[in-house]
Amino acid sequence: MQKIYFDNAATTPIDNDVITFITTSMANNFGNPSSSHQFGRKAKTMVEESRKSIAKILNCSASEIVFTAGGSEADNLILYNAVTNLKVTRIVSSKIEHHAVLHTLDALKKSFNIDIELVDLDANGDINYEHLQDLLKDNSRKTMVSLMLVNNEIGNILDLQKVIEICKNNNVLFHSDTVQGLAHLEMDLKKTPIDFMVASAHKFHGPKGVGFAVFKKGFGIQPILHGGEQERGARAGTENSHNIAGMAKALEIATNNLSNERKAIETLKQYFMEKLKNNFDDIHFNGNSGRMDKSTFHILSVRFNKDYPMLLFNLDLKGIAASGGSACQSGSNQGSHVLNTILTEEEALKTSVRFSFSKYNTIKEVDDVIKALKEIIH
């Protein structure tokens, strides 16, 4: 049976060069980075060289990077620090953020009674920047804005520069969940000075269970995990040194090849959209995912003309992996909170599928998926 993986927004296959890099590291560099002997020093050097490599790519200081177990922990670390350490009492966000942000905000509201305000969205899920500006005119409370760079379900890209300018003009902090954007968009933290951002290695062909947070220099960091002084006291726990090194390697490969890979995947996405429109009646693309100028090249959210409750199951039987929303939503019986927010009730009842692509996908795979969809639907 064929196997086609079109769920790269959930996770990506690990690059073969990264696998080799990690396994070599595991065989030759097993020391604890906190140990003072030569084995520990060698491991510590690998971790710090990885930190410097990532900092060079992002054009920031290595001291601003804190390694974590992934994007969700990084979001938690930043948001908890905003409230408990930086004394933020109001956070402005949106209804379609990743649950790593939304659920953390709910917890912070319950524990610390902070104010959560949500910026208006248009029918495509775009931020209403004028409403954001209006919300931030009230500067009586210390405020943070938390808006994701690329939406993981519909692919919408935030106007990062505009939000940075609005936040700067209103003297508020800005955090962005950049998990789906890093290695898909160019990131230069000197040109786009976000106060806080996050990353997760498995979104750009690196290993799972490792990521990082960026805290702009000058902001102190209090840990949410206690028990050790690792990461300069910002995060207790022995560093996942092999995966940290693998993450740095994966990010280096992804950024070095970004231009060519973007062109190839854009071509694949455009081809897929044309094939869908030519073979299925009344097809729609959720959010801005059907617009190459306003969405990321690797995500396409497709809405069919009716409800096909077994569509994903039948695709899986044919060896094709896709998603009804984010992978984090797959166990929910409430559907996608993103689609439920931006679609009408009638539209939300129709079947939507998120297809997401990587450098390993091909035009032939698109043709095979179209053939499978026609067999299932027709």
Active-site positions read 328
DSSP H helices in 90-229: 99-112, 129-136, 160-169
* C-beta separation of 144 from 114 below 8 A: no
Measure the CA–CA gap between 1 and 267, rounded to whole angstroms: 26
Q: Residue 343's closest CA among 263, 289, 281?
A: 289
- Assign 39 to helix, strand or coil: helix
Tokens of 263: 């062109």
* C-beta separation of 12 from 202 below 8 A: yes
Tokens of 246: 């693998």
Residue type, 307: D
* C-beta separation of 316 from 292 below 8 A: no
**176 to 97, 196, 351: CA distances (angstroms):** 10, 6, 30
Measure the CA–CA gap between 124 and 151, rounded to whole angstroms: 11
On the 0-12 / 13-18 / 19+ scale of CB atoms within 10 A, 140 is exposed
44: part of which helix (H) or strand (E)? helix 38-58
The one-character DSSP state at 354 is E
Torsion of CA 91, 95, 100, 101, to 10 degrees: -10
DSSP string for 167-188: HHHTT-EEEE--TTTBTTB---
* C-beta separation of 251 from 212 below 8 A: no
Pairing of strands 299-303, 284-285: antiparallel
* C-beta separation of 15 from 205 below 8 A: yes
